[in-house]
Chains A and B, each alone.
Chain A
């Protein structure tokens, strides 16, 4: 796709470029990579930027985190704070807390970098979540990308782990209470819980070991794993090439878009700076995690409205939604269902998210590669399942702020919890049916537009006295977006060679009925022509 004509005389700068390129290629054989990837095409869509935001905010986290490690002391040795921040003067606290306050008040740019680190972390998890939703709702997880979905899922879990370990490092009242909750959850594990808690905290809670241990996880093990999985994730993106939305000229066999060099390099490279810049701007003007207001960790005080960072909210919220009394004493041992059940629900939810691609692949039995994305409406059941999942997560998440809802809207805490408990069950069901109906309605609308064109609002009276509305036909290009989607029929049950229908087949048939029973079939060429002949 070369359209730029070569200038006849080589200028000075281009002579330098070619000399440098030769020098490097002679030693690295990089020309192979440049030839292969330099003009590799990437499709363009705003939703494809969500993954990029995640990647770029991770780079920002690494940069700001490196700055912080230079000043942070990951120790729980007690010291007496004697810095410039007057309200804390003379207070005993751990070295971790003291150095966090020092970074905030004594290191130039330290507060800024702390805030950059924290805001970037929030953005990192948020963009991963949105990116996952984009992948889910467009069906981008289908073959050949199932493994990459799993890798992305692992990254999501790692991001939460990174967030939680980082949140716990300053050793302030909030982070200490977060750890106390983790301690309580670990202790609830049958048989090994107590011992595991002592292992984790190096003895009784809070002990003097935990910050050092979390620090090791936070700056070494977890980031190494994140980097490894990001590399794998991107490697797969290169191997699979990017998915693209349906559109004219786009097929399963091509990628339509812009080449890496120069357009994508400029846009994506520029976008990194925009993401970094926005994080910097937020961090400049909006304070976050003001640990000096909470004070060093002390097992006694706690403030109302204690909140985890938002991405742990769903876990904390689920703990709140368990009705009173879910604990039994069997055989002389304590079974804490009030912790085990929320953990099982959360883990179960996450496992369902992780394995969804395989469930859907099993239901459809479709072994083809899919590179064209589904518009969410064209996969109504998947979209509805997604909406139900989002609702379930959102209720758990909202429950983490049940006390703030109660105080801000002048409601009773009990009322809010009971409403959320009901919503946790009813909400996903309502969301499922509403979403499904909306998708089907949109599909019907699309179908009618494809067949008959847009409503023009112009009413014409025919000679016979009949009134009709004139429809404006859509162009071939517009129509293609409306009609080019896959259609699946429910599985028809047929006996196998032994004349029997195995249970797994029945199960699959049931699922596929649930998925595809009330589908809307895409219009065909014949129907189109018929539509035209009807003249409106």
Chain B
């Protein structure tokens, strides 16, 4: 099983800023990591298609512009009394 330190980039958006979120209750079995940019979260014991940049399917990859273009849902309404 890969060590968490083997992960250098987010499998989805290729951001190098990764955070360790949780370790398996049975020590050393898996870790949960998260991308600091796109917030993708994965367990190190998941298949490579979910955990490795090189194996991440094209359709699931994200670019920085995808994040910037994300539509606000629902839209934040105006504060009362400001209209």
Do A and B come from the same complex? Answer: no
